[in-house]
Every structure is written in C-alpha cells, then in structure tokens.
Chains A and B, each alone.
Chain A
Amino acid sequence: MKKTIYFLFAMLILAIAACKKDNVPDTNNDVKPVTISVKLSYEAENTALALSLEKTEVKITNLTTTQSYTATSNTDGVATFTAISPGNYDVSAVQTIAAEDYNTKAGTNVTDAVIFNGTLSRQALTQDGQLAVTLKTGRIGDLVIKQIYYSGSSAANGAVFRDQFVEIYNNSNQTLYADSLYFGQVINTATALNKIDFSKGFYQSGGQYDWSKSIGMNTTNANTGYVYTSALFMIPGTGTQHPILPGTSIIIAATALNHKSPYTGADGKAISVKDPTLTIDLSAADFEVYLGDQNGINPLASDVDNPAVPNLTVIDRGANRDLVLDALGRDGLIIFKSKVDPKTWGKFPTPEVTQIISTTKTYIQVPVNLIIDGVGLNTTVVANRIPKYMVDAIDAGETYTTGGSYSSQSVVRKTNKTVSGRIVLKDSNNSANDFGTLTKSDPSKSATSFIN
C-alpha cells in the first residue's frame, strides 16, 4: 500500500512537471470597444495663421471590415470616436477654409476654398487613446491627373497591360501647354506592409523607404522633400506646340493602338484579344511611350510605334521595356515642369542597397515643390496593401480600382462642379476623396469619362 502511495505521489509530481508555461506572455485580454480621440493641428508653416480647427471632418476606416466612422472636431480640434471595434484603421481628416477667410488670414487672393488634409495609415486602435493628425495643404494644380488606367484588362481574354493609359486634364480656366511636361512613375516600398521586416533599418515607421539611408544621400529632407522616379518621360515641344484648352485633356498611352483589333507586334507575330469589349481603342491618344529604339533594350513585342502619335521623350526608362503601370496598384504617378534638366539631379539607389555596382539601379530625385500633381495608388486587396506610396504633400491619400488587377477599370477624378459648361474636377490633394472607379476605362475624353 505504501509503495502504491509513493508511486502515485511520483506520478503526481510528474504530472505537475508536465505543465508547460507558454513562452508568450499571457495576453488573454478580450477585445473591447475602444474610444479614440483625434487631435488635429496645422503644419508649422500654417500654424501662425490661426486657422480654425473646428468642424474638421475626420473619418476612420477599418482596413479588414471596411467599416468607417466619421466625426467632426470641436473648437480645440479634437474629434472623438466612442465604442468602435478595435482593429487596424486608416485615419483621414479634411478641413475646408473658405477663400475669404483664408485670404483675410494669409493675405492671399485665392478664389476657391483651401483644403487641408491629414492622414495616418494603418493605425492599430486596440485600446483607448489619442492620435495626432497634422493638416497640410498641397499644391492645387491647374493640370491634374484625371484618369489612370493601371489595372489593365483580362489576362486571359483582354489586352493584359498593353492598353494602359493616363489622362491629364486642364482643371483651370486658362489654356495650358503640355510642352515639356514631365510624367513619371515613383518608386517606393512595394512589399505588403504585413511582410516588411522593420528590423532591417531602412524603412520609415510607415514602411516607406527611408531614403536618408541611401548611399550617397546628400539632402537633409530626403523623405519629405523629394520623390524618386523609377521611370521619367517628357512631352516634347517648343513651348506652345501642345495646348490643352480649359476643361480638356490629353491621353498618354503605353501603346497608342486600337487594342480591340489584332495588330502585328515588334517580333512580327500577331497580337489580338479574345474579347474586344474588355479593352479599348488608344489609336487617338495624344502621346505614347515607345521604348523600342532605346539603347540596350530588349524590346517588348507589344510595344509598337504608332507614327501618327508623338512619342514622349525618354529621360529615364528605368528597367521598363514599355510604359507599364503596376497592375496591382503598387505605383505612384507625378507630373511636373522644370527649367532644370532632371538628368542633372541626384540619382540614388534604394536604401537596402549596400554597395553600388555597375548594375545597381538608381532613381532620379525630384523635388516635391516642383510637382504639379501626383497620385498614389495601392492594391485593392487589403491584406496586400503596401505602405502609402506618395508623401502627404503630393497626395494625402491613395486610390485603387474596386475590381483590382486586369478588371478593365480605371480610377477617375470626380467632378467637383461645372462652371459655364466647363467641368472642374475635385482636387483636395487627397486621392482617397478625389477619385472614384470607372467600371470600364474610357479614353474618349467625352462625358462618359467623367464621374460624379
């Protein structure tokens, strides 16, 4: 009997020893609704103007469920959200200052309301707390990017990425000229945010490249004062060769052909689509990007020169074999003018490069203060979202098609108002608010290419 008791005692000790503590600290705290307050402020250069923070519209959007909440700020510039589901959220704030009020305080003579935007990306709101959002105003361009057809059309039955284009619109009441207008693609982190290893040290807190860490970086505001282009082109002209009348636009096509019909590729083989309704006719485009004659290029068979359509001047084609916008939306586009040749500007590698060799890719550094308009894109699928591509001063938000890649959809700037028959597009420097999705991209420049 004693032996049995000793044996049972030994078994009990063994059983207790078998209990293994988890290595992860016990975080068995249940999810609870949270209260978040958003404290607004203006950026330093506008603080002295004593502009009102009251009634700023603040929106937070849950990235997983897409549920959004809105609130307006009080006189102290605080917007409060109570009992929201915890999760990951994007935060955006928009304050509109009437032109008269702004002119009084800033001593300016603007005719339209001045819009200030502030954003915070992917904030983990899991407990009560406060967020700080800085309101900034960007340059409201006369020329704006109106339509970006980046998604392409069906990979099986359409033109894939061959039919991509960008539409640039004159949003002013003056005739503007496209001559010497630079058009570029911006480079930034294209890795999904949830797959970024921040411990590597060359990312900013939001996941964007920390360009201050690039080899040879010689500017102090490498991340906020500049963007870096993966490809850069320029519309040729002597200065007044390519007018854009008020309320009209130009189309820059990757390949200015009718993609609905078969054509012969650069390799002599026929290129066609199974379903022409999925793609578009770009033969009437104003400009196209043709890289087939570039030194050292391995030409893309589908990049065929349309002699009737002027080609953009290639400043830096990057690694491209044609103008190819990322069909997933991991891209950003800019337009600007410069009296200085961008080829003389600094070129830097991405910050993860530790040694520059002959094949190291470098990117032209473009000053933000020259950019007339820029739009940041992102992926449709939330789980694959990349860090915000564009600095806030260029685009406080980002946009994407609802249908995703190869959907034939494009993003289009919304109509703000119509003045004497001229459509004025929405331009609050925040593409999340300014853009919507067109179910089928439309290069016609007609009424069907606008959305409300």
Chain B
Amino acid sequence: MLTVSAGAFAQQQNPADTVYLFSQNARQLQEAQQNAAALITTQYNDVSTLSLAYNLQNGHFRTSQTAEKGREASFKSSGISTLGRFKVAGYFNFVRTWQDSLAWTMQGYTDEATPYYFAAGKAGKYDRLNYNFGGLVSYSLIKDKLYLAAGVTYLYNTASRSVDPRPSVQTFQLNITPQILYKTGKQVFGAALNLGYGKEQNNVAYRNLDYAGQSQTYADRINYLVIGYGLTTPYGAGSFRRKNDVSGFGLNYAYNGSNAYLSTALNYTHNYQDNFISLDASKERNRYGILRLNNYSGKILTGVKRGNYHHQLQASALWQKGYDNNYYEVAGLSNYKYSHQNVNVSYSVLKASASAQKTELGLNFIYDNVSKRDIGSSISSTFGYVQPGLNGTIYSSFKNNSRLALSLSPGVRLPVGNEVKVPVTTNVFANNIIYPDLTYWSSTAGVLGFNARYITPHILKNVNSGISFNANYINALSLGTNYQTGKFIPGKQRIDLTLSFDMYF
C-alpha cells in the first residue's frame, strides 16, 4: 500500500516538500495518518516520503535501564494516497539497532509498565531488529455522508545479545481499529473499536556453565526474574512467554474549514498481558502473572489562519493505570501498581509572508509522572518532571527551488515530586535500578534541540529530496539525589544525533 503510494505518484506535481518542510503542515499530515476523521477532511490527497536515517546516542546522563551508547540505521516510508472512494494512509519502518553497555533489563520491546521481565547486572551489547508497518484506510460508503475505515498496525521486534546471560526475545503485536464515520458539512464524527493481539517469547541462556550456577561469585551474571517492583528471584537459564490482548474504543472528530481546522481523538484501551511458562512435556502452562493496564488518551490539533499568521495548537494527554495479579508469588493477589500521566502541549505561530524567508515561533510544555509500587516489598517510587521550552524556526526558499528550515528548541527539565521508599538496604532491584533512576529524574537539566532540513530538486531528477539533521542534547545542570548504592550513577550529559536522506513524492 505504501510502496504503491510512494511510487505511482512520483511524477505528479504535489506540494510534498512544502508539507514536510513546515512543521505545522507536517503535524497536520501526521494527524491525518492517525485519525480517520482527519484523513477524510485533510487537504492532503497524495503525498509520501522515504527516508534513510542513521542515529547515534551516547551519554552517561540516562536511567539505569538505558543503554550508554546506541546506533540505529533505519528505513522509513509513509504517505497518503487517494484511489477512487478509498483514501489510504500508511507507513513502513525498519530499524536496526546496536546498543552497548545496557544492563538491568533484557526486555525485547521496552515496556515501561510491565513488572515481568528478565534482568541482569552485566552490561552488554544488544542487537535489535524492528519491523513495523500500518495503515489507515477509509472508504466512502455513501459519498460525503457515511464512511467505513480500518486501521492496522503490525510490529515485529527481535532482541539478543552475546554475553551471559544471553537473552533472545521475539515480540509480535497486531492491532486493528475498525471504524465508522459520519460526515456533515465540513465535520466528520467517528467511532472506533481498538482490538489487538500480541505474543512475546523471552529466552535466556548461558554459554559459560560457571555463570549459569547463579553464584554470588559472579553476581552480575545472575539472571533475575523481575516479578514486581523490587521483587525479584534468581532464575538462571530459562524462558517465559507473554500474550498481550488489547481491547477498547475511541472517538474522533475533525473539522477543516478555509481558515481553521480542528481534529481530536479520544481513546480507551485495556491491555491484558499474560505472562507464563509452558509446563514440562505438556501443553499446559503455569502462569507467572497478569498485568492489566488501562490507557486513556486524548489528542487535539487545531489551527487558525489570521492574515499572514498561522496559529497552531497541539495537545495530548495520556493517563495509564495498571495493576498485576501475581501468581508466581502470591497466588494471584495484586502486588504491583502502576500509574503514568503525561501532558504535552505545543503552540506555534508562523508568519507566512510572501518573502523568501518565513519565521515560526513556539512554546511547548511537557508534564510527565510515573508511579510504581510493590506492596509486598513495601517499595515505591514516583518520578516526575515538567519541561517548558521555546522553539524558533526560520524557513528559507532559494531561487533554485531549494528550501531550508533551521530550528532551535531550548528548554529546561525541572524535577517534580520525585521520591522513593525502600525499607531495606539489601534489595538488589532498588540499589541498581530505583536509586540511580531517582538521581536521573530528580536532576535539573537543560535541553537543547537543533533541527535542519534541506530539500532540493537538484539531487535526484524529477524528485524532491534532501538531507535532515537532528540533534538533541541534554545536560544535567544539577544532579539529583544520589545514594550511591550501585555501580551506576547517572552522569552529566547525553546527546542524540540523527542524519537522514529523504525523498518526497
């Protein structure tokens, strides 16, 4: 779907470079690719992009379960296409990741909420492959009145490393979103079901039998099964499986007028994550634990044009609340509690004058708070921050039809409400994960983002293409509370760089 979308319309005149150059347009396009009501009302009918990117991450200012270094090579494509009564938005991403010095988590696809995973203190290199693709299709059942739509997302992720203990994790997730939408005038109302199914296989093996013995002589080689937040047990070589069922519903709305637009979506999903092992020589299984996670999310994108000034406001909110039923230790009683709140607001105003140079200024604000609690261990933590920031962008057009956008986004991350409660001094999980994370999240940090996008018709014939460079730098202005209980203590800074070659159709 995506490949057709990118190739078949390569020869048409379209404002793809404009769409992807200007941030406000890019957000509208992204909204149309995720919200079926916005897809129906969007003015973008045939645009697509391909991107080859290389990413580097490095720095000691990180959480205990983040790699010290990482590299990524990725191929990404996305676009929108209109075929008769069908309007299609889709994407395909392939990401190859190499990480170094990652410890205390052997998850395949990072899941912040789950309390069930393998972990070991030995840091090592990880190899990951991630394929994910999806799409949103709308069909005009009754022209300009009734629409059917369906969204689908597919993810396959593998992760492994070659130092003991050696994880090998395969994750699969498929989500579908059947929808029905009603259009009246310039407004579209939609309702959707959210359904999903996923599986994961977690295996850990040892090559060195000395390490497999789980002796304190090689403490960092002990493979722990984490079954809570602070509740762990040495496990050795072994495996467990996971099934992930998703259910829920959503409502979406879009309006697109001549000078204003609005799209919004509300979603509720319930994740039912079942973690278990297969019994020996049997088709039966032994359940370790269930995580039940309720996700409530809302998103709004709205804009208005007043003369040469284009205002845009984007806001999203996420509230997650979860708990487990721990069968491994407490016969299905609930031991683990999780909650996460995130609010992200950004406002920008573009001075869209006729000159070759346009400027855009913006404000943004992030609030994030994660709380976890292990009742049996009496361990809990709350990590939160607010991050206000500014954004300034200059868009330049050149006589040879090339374009350039330069953005600078300074901000500051301020800790809010960070605390931990750990009643004992000997808890391995607390000493190596919770306390270093407290240091990280309770730090005040300066954040600086830089982005440059250059698009020109002169690299490839008949195709707009270009180069993008993105840099994010974070520096701890003052390090947070430090109990120095484990080997790892977050450092001062971290950088994230991405260079990509992009094509626009």
Contacts and interface: CB of A to CB of B under 8 A. Distances in A.
B191 interface: yes
Contact of B215 (A4, A20, A407): A407
Interface residues of B, number: 55
Contacts of A194: 277, 286, 328
B426 to A, nearest CB: 10
A381 B323 contact: no
B200 to A, nearest CB: 19
Interface string A317-336: 00000000000000000000
Interface stretch (A23-31, A99-107, A131-139, A441-449): A23-31
Contact of B335 (A8, A31, A157, A407): A31
B191 A200 contact: no
A433 interface: no
B144 interface: no
B325 A383 contact: no
A407 B210 CA distance: 7
Contacts of A406: 209-210, 213
B376 A86 contact: yes
Interface string A1-40: 0011001101100110011101010011111100000000
Contacts of B83: none
B249 interface: yes
Nearest to A29: B333
B112 interface: no
A10 B213 CA distance: 60
B229 interface: no
Nearest to B236: A381
Interface string A385-426: 000000000000000001111110000000000000000000
B464 to A, nearest CB: 40
B209 A31 contact: no
A87 B208 contact: no
Given A403-B213, A407-B213, A31 B286 contact: no
B210 A154 contact: yes
B21 interface: no
A194 B377 CA distance: 22
Interface in A157-209: 157, 160, 191-192, 194-197, 199-200
Contacts of B215: 380, 402-404, 407
Given A28-B334, A155-B209, A197 B233 contact: no
A156 B277 contact: no
B279 A27 contact: no
Contacts of B333: 27, 29-32, 86, 126
B294 to A, nearest CB: 11
Interface string B181-195: 010100001110110
A15 B251 contact: yes
B280 interface: yes
B236 A407 contact: no
A96 interface: no
Nearest to A380: B214
A27 B332 contact: yes
Given A31-B376, A195-B279, A4 B189 contact: yes
B376 A87 contact: yes
A88 interface: yes
Interface centre among A24, A31, A124, A192 (most CB of B within 10 A): A31
Contacts of A151: 213
B280 A191 contact: yes
A11 B329 CA distance: 42
Contacts of B257: none
A156 B208 contact: yes
Contacts, number: 149
A130 interface: no
A215 to B, nearest CB: 18
B277 A15 contact: no
Given A8-B189, A29-B333, A31-B330, A20 B270 contact: yes
Contact of A197 (B217, B280, B334): B280
A383 B217 contact: no
Contact of A383 (B208, B213, B234, B335): B234
Contacts of A154: 209-210
Interface centre among A18, A27, A28 (most CB of B within 10 A): A18
Interface in B282-308: 282, 284, 286, 290, 292
A98 interface: no
A11 B189 contact: yes
Contacts of A384: 235-236, 238
A126 B210 contact: no
Nearest to B230: A65
A197 B189 contact: no
Contacts of A271: none
Contact of B281 (A155, A157, A197): A197
A87 B282 CA distance: 26
A382 B234 contact: yes
Contacts of B328: 64, 194
Interface string B223-262: 0010100010111101000000001110100000000000
A362 interface: no
Contact of B249 (A4, A18, A156): A18
Interface string A86-124: 111000000000000000000000000000000000001
B8 interface: no
Given A380-B214, A405-B212, A126 B330 contact: yes
A80 interface: no
Nearest to A191: B280
B214 A404 contact: yes
B216 interface: yes
5 contacts: A10-B180, A11-B190, A383-B233, A402-B215, A407-B215
Smallest CB-CB A-B distances: 7 pairs: A404-B213, A11-B191, A155-B209, A197-B282, A18-B249, A403-B215, A197-B279
Interface of B: 180, 182, 184, 189-191, 193-194, 208-210, 212-217, 225, 227, 231, 233-236, 238, 247-249, 251, 270, 272, 277-282, 284, 286, 290, 292, 323, 325-326, 328-335, 375-377
Interface of A: 3-4, 7-8, 10-11, 14-15, 18-20, 22, 24, 27-32, 64-65, 85-88, 124, 126, 151, 154-157, 160, 191-192, 194-197, 199-200, 380-384, 402-407
